[in-house]
Amino acid sequence: MSARLHKWFIEETSVDTAHMFGVKEYIVSAKTPFQEVEIADTETFGRILVLDGKIQSSEYDEYVYHEALVHPAMLCCAKPRRVLVIGGGEGATVREIFLHPGVEEVVMVDLDREVVTLCREHLPSWHRGAFDDKRLTLHYMDARDFLVDNEEQFDVIISDVPETVEASPALKLFTCQYFELVRNRLSDGGVFVLQAGDFGLPFVGTHCAILNTVRQAFPDSYSYRTFISSFNTEWAFIISFKESRDKPDSAEIDLKVRERGLSLRFLDGETAASMFSLPLNIRKLIEKEKRIIDDQNLLTSY
């Protein structure tokens, strides 16, 4: 048995629960104008990225999160030529988008230039050179300001911002006003997807409120989820369609993967069928949810 690691990173998952990681070495420990950022090496999960005390991704399983986030939306869009990414500082979201043939332009809007710079330097296995692709345009600014100031239309919009913890700059990226802006920037047949919080009991209530809020702008919105080992929980996503349609099925996913010549490690039709199949107790919670998040009534995870 190896010697016990002498450094511990403790991620508080609620006011009285936590998730611990044994840390071999801290690579970065810094505070930007917007958030605290840490990059560390662990024995089990490899390198990890932490923002404001919350793990964002790990070297071991980031591909699970990013394939789950990106590919259902990209595959459900007939011709995803122009894609907007909100957040996504690691560069892995953009990496997965560029796997799809026919992508002509990706616009990435991230508030925190320093985090992107640190990720570019210290997380090369995440972005794999995606930041250098000439099809990528980077804007360092508030995402809502970008959506207000630019009337460009996008085929797919992907919101990959940190979860809704207290005082987070991302809080106003989970409101009905934000989702209406997103809808107005989607082209006909466009698809929107966002990471949407912890799907595990008893924390899933935040996700239910986000889904109910998204549905004010996008009636055809569907929850899906997958287990992320480094999060130690199932994590939720929401896919939304500008035009009425059902959630994707396994046959559609497999067909589009073959047509586009994708070689994925996590997602296929069988995986997608599992992700979009929600348990009875959660479906009941979603049905009962009445909360709508708006700019005057922001919702934090705890």
What class has domain 62-288? alpha beta
Q: Is 160 a catalytic residue?
A: yes
User: What local confidence, expressed as pLDDT, does residue 126 receive?
Assistant: 97
User: What local confidence, expressed as pLDDT, does residue 166 receive?
Assistant: 64
Q: Which of the four pLDDT bands, split at 50, 70 and 90, describes residue 302?
A: low
Cis amide leading into 202 (omega within 30): yes
Kindly report, residue by residue over 25-39, the tens digit of the pLDDT.
999 999 999 999 999
Average pLDDT taken over every residue of the chain: 94
Query: Given 112, 160, 220, 268, which residue is catalytic?
Result: 160
Kindly report, residue by residue over 69-80, the tens digit of the pLDDT.
999 999 999 999
CATH tag for 7-58 (out of 3.40.50.1000, 2.30.140.10, 3.40.50.300, 3.30.365.10): 2.30.140.10
pLDDT(3) > 60: no
**CB distance 30 to 37 below 8 Å:** yes
- Give start-end residues of each CATH 2.30.140.10 domain in the chain: 7-58
Kindly report, residue by residue over 175-214, the tens digit of the pLDDT.
999 999 999 999 999 999 999 999 999 999 999 999 999 9
- Give start-end residues of each CATH 3.40.50.150 domain in the chain: 62-288
**Which helix H or strand E contains 18, and what residues bound it?**
strand 18-31
User: What local confidence, expressed as pLDDT, does residue 169 receive?
Assistant: 75
User: What local confidence, expressed as pLDDT, does residue 6 receive?
Assistant: 63
> How far, CA to CA in Å, does 7 sit from each of 29, 42, 49?
14, 10, 16
